[in-house]
Each structure stands twice: as C-alpha cells, then as structure tokens.
Structure 1
Amino acid sequence: MLELRNLSKSYAGGRPVLDRLSWRFKAGEFVAIMGDSGVGKSTLLNLIAGLDTPDPAAGEAPIVIDGIAMSGLDDDAATRLRRARMGFIFQAFHVLPHLTLLQNVALPLLLNGLPTARAAEMLDAVGLGGRGHDFPHQLSGGEMQRVAIARALVHRPALVLADEPTGNLDPDTAHSILTLLRREIKATGACAIMVTHSQSSAEMTDKILHLSKSGLQETTIVNPFAQ
C-alpha cells in the first residue's frame, strides 16, 4: 500500500534528519512508530502526506502510495490524492474554529462529493454524539482531539497518518479511541501509521517500528490485538 524507497530528508545546512529510509506498509496494517524526540518521526509523516518534500533520489521514487509515485504528482494531483485517500490526525488538531463539530467532521465528505450522514455517526463513535452543533471553543483539548480523529476517519481513507493521536486523552478515552481506530482500519482494509511516545498505545497496534539514525527496525511485541 505504501512503500518508502531510500527516503532521505535534510534541513538547512545539510543536516540529515532521515537517511535512506526504506520500508513497506501493507493494507489493513496498524503500525506504531516510536523513537527519541527529534529523530524525525513527525517529519516522516509530513513527507508521506506530501506536506514536505524529500531530498531528490537518483532514479528512484522515494514515496509510492498504491503504485503512485508522490514525486511524480503536481500540487493539484497531490492535493486530490490526499483529499480522497488519506486521513490526518495531527497534534495541533487543525479543527476549524468557525465551523460546528458536525461541519468539521463532514468536511472530508463534502470535499469528496460523498453523503454527509456518516459525520454524525463518527461524532457518536468518539463520544461526542449530540454535540454536533457546538463549536470548537466549547471543547477541551481532548475533545478537540476526538473531533480530529472522527474527521480523519469519516471518509474511510486508505491511509491514516496519526501524530500522537492520544496525547491529549486520558488512558480510558485513549484506549477506546485506539480501539475505534483499529476497528475502522480492519473494516476498510486501510493502512494506519501512528507516531507515539506511549508504549501502551503502541502495544494496541499490529507492529511497532523503532526509528533511529540507523533507520526503521521492527520491535517484537506481544499484545492481544496483533495478528
């Protein structure tokens, strides 16, 4: 579903953040990525999403999604791919303050020309049923995170990218949200990649990858969900 091929990223002054990173992510797979702060976990998600640009790779497409090389897309085509095929859960929420909760969650459906009824279902699934007409300023940080999660999943994306999706949630809510995320992934055959510092959150996934200067390495885990 997603393939990284010698993916590299350097910042100002030539400082490398990611160096020739390669990995294949499968459809229906829920993967956690862990690692020290500053190692490039969030940068990796931004690169996959096309929100940042990798270093040029000689004769090779560094990011391929469903057989489509991201480097071969212009801005409009990349935007269409993100809108239709991806769901994002980022630390900053990006919940739109001038829209109600229902309107925020329905936005991906509207942008993709899909019926909006599922927006109310997803609000209910994240524990905010009946609050669709509220506005973001009426929510706590944890509640805004739940809106962001509902919005990311509502259009059944093929690829879900989540940056610390439970960072603002209490343990019980975090567990229920990750259970929902996992259920959606398995039901739709999507691939989900979650960056997290939480070992307990990571252990609810199928696979844990550790990101370091040496690249991505799989960590052996024993959990009740792994298949």
Structure 2
Amino acid sequence: MLELVNLGKSYGGRNVLAKLSHRFQPGEFVAVMGESGVGKSTLLNLIAGLDAPDSGQVLVDGMPMSGLDDDAATRLRRTRMGFIFQAFHVLPHLSLLQNVALPLLLNGAPDPARAAHMLEAVGLAGRGADFPRQLSGGELQRVAIARALVHRPALLLADEPTGNLDPETADGVLHLLRAEIKESGAGAIMVTHSHAAAALADRVLLLTRSGLKLA
C-alpha cells in the first residue's frame, strides 16, 4: 500500500532525511520513534503529500505522489487518508459535531450518526453542539482523533496523537485507534515519543540519520 523509495529531504542545507526506503504492509499499525529533530514529522508530511521530497518517491498503491496534480493529491488525501497532527487543526467556527463530520461531508457522504458515534467513542458524548473554544487541549486532541477516523480511511497518519492527553485518556484513545484501524483493515503510521503508545503497534520502527530500522 505504501512504499518509500530513496526518499530525501533537506531544509536550509541540512539533510533531514536521506535515501530513506521502506515498505509498509497493508493493514499494519506501525509506530515510528526517534530523537527530536530526526525528521519524524517531516516523514509524515512527505507521505501525505503535504510537502515534496527533494529526491526519491512516495508510492501509494504503487502510484507516485509526485505524479499527482494538486487536485488529484487533494482527492487522495480526502478519501484515502486520515490525519492526526499535533496542532489539531480543529476549525473554531464549527461545532464539534460539524468538525468531526467534515471529512464525510467533503466526500459527499454526510452521516451525522457516524460523527456522533465517533464523538462518543473519544469520550465527548453530548458535546456535539459545543465549540472548540470551550474545550481543553486534551479534548481538542480527541476531536481531532474522531475526525481523522470518521470516514474510515485506508491510511491513518498520526503525529503524537496522545501528546496532550493524561495517561488514562491516552490509553483509551490508543485502544480506540487500534480497534478502528483493525476493524476497517486500515494501515496506520504513528509518530510517538511514548513507549506505552508504541507498545500497542504491530511493529515499532526507529528513525535515525541512517534510516528506518526495527526498534
């Protein structure tokens, strides 16, 4: 489903990723760990097509992301991928239910019941009419997780998905992530510093300057 081929990226003359190659198996839940600044978030952005590599290719279902125009790349992200990023990207002018339901609406398949179910699954039942300004950072993270999962993506990309959660809530959210992706047969790549989070993955990879290897 996903393959990295000699992927390279630099910023300001500094190599962040160099000649990185790896094949991810369909339906596999992978945790990626590594020191700060080694390029974990950059890797997710390249996989998603939100940033372009300086060299190499990201292949999704055998198709190079670099070969897609902006519209095609946007459609691929919207229909096939889910994102949980550290900055949340929850829209302040939409209610929680509207935020979670947005991927379904953009894909032409509105389903308020599914959106409400996902809010309940992340512990926010009955809060659908609330707005992001009424939530804590941890609650905003849970909204972002519900939104990423609501349309049952084929590939979930998660950047520190429990970074703003207390240990008990984090454990519940991680089990939800695993249950949802296993039920749908989705693949998932989760960047994390948490060994407890990584322990729930099928496989743990360590990203270093020399590439990805089993932890």
Determine if the TM-score, normalized by the shorter chain, exceeds 0.5.
yes
C-alpha distance in 1, partners of 2:186/2:2? 11
C-alpha distance in 2, partners of 1:157/1:71? 21
Measured after TM superposition, the shift of residue 164 of structure 1 is 0.3
C-alpha distance in 2, partners of 1:115/1:77? 21
Measured after TM superposition, the shift of residue 69 of structure 1 is 1.1
Q: Over aligned residues, Cα RMSD in angstroms? A: 0.7
- Paired residues, number: 214
Answer whether contact 2:6 2:55 (CA < 8 A) is retained.
no
**Following superposition of structure 1 onto structure 2, how do residues 83-98 of structure 1 map, counting pairs within 5 Å?**
83-98=78-93
Identity of aligned residues (%): 75
C-alpha distance in 2, partners of 1:6/1:63? 9
Measured after TM superposition, the shift of residue 28 of structure 1 is 1.2
Counterpart code for 1:32: A
2:192 match: 196
Measured after TM superposition, the shift of residue 67 of structure 1 is 1.9
**Following superposition of structure 1 onto structure 2, how do residues 10-159 of structure 1 map, counting pairs within 5 Å?**
10-12=10-12, 14-57=13-56, 62-116=57-111, 117-159=113-155
2:158 match: 162
Measured after TM superposition, the shift of residue 10 of structure 1 is 1.1
Any stretches of 5+ residues in structure 2 without a counterpart? none
C-alpha distance in 1, partners of 2:124/2:4? 36
Measured after TM superposition, the shift of residue 208 of structure 1 is 0.5
Measured after TM superposition, the shift of residue 27 of structure 1 is 1.6
Counterpart code for 1:153: L
Comparing 97-106 with 63-72, which one deviates more in the overlay? 63-72
Any stretches of 5+ residues in structure 1 without a counterpart? 220-227
Measured after TM superposition, the shift of residue 22 of structure 1 is 0.7
Measured after TM superposition, the shift of residue 26 of structure 1 is 1.3
Which SS does the other structure have where 1:204 is aligned? coil
Counterpart code for 2:90: V
Counterpart code for 2:147: R
Measured after TM superposition, the shift of residue 104 of structure 1 is 0.0
Which SS does the other structure have where 1:38 is aligned? coil
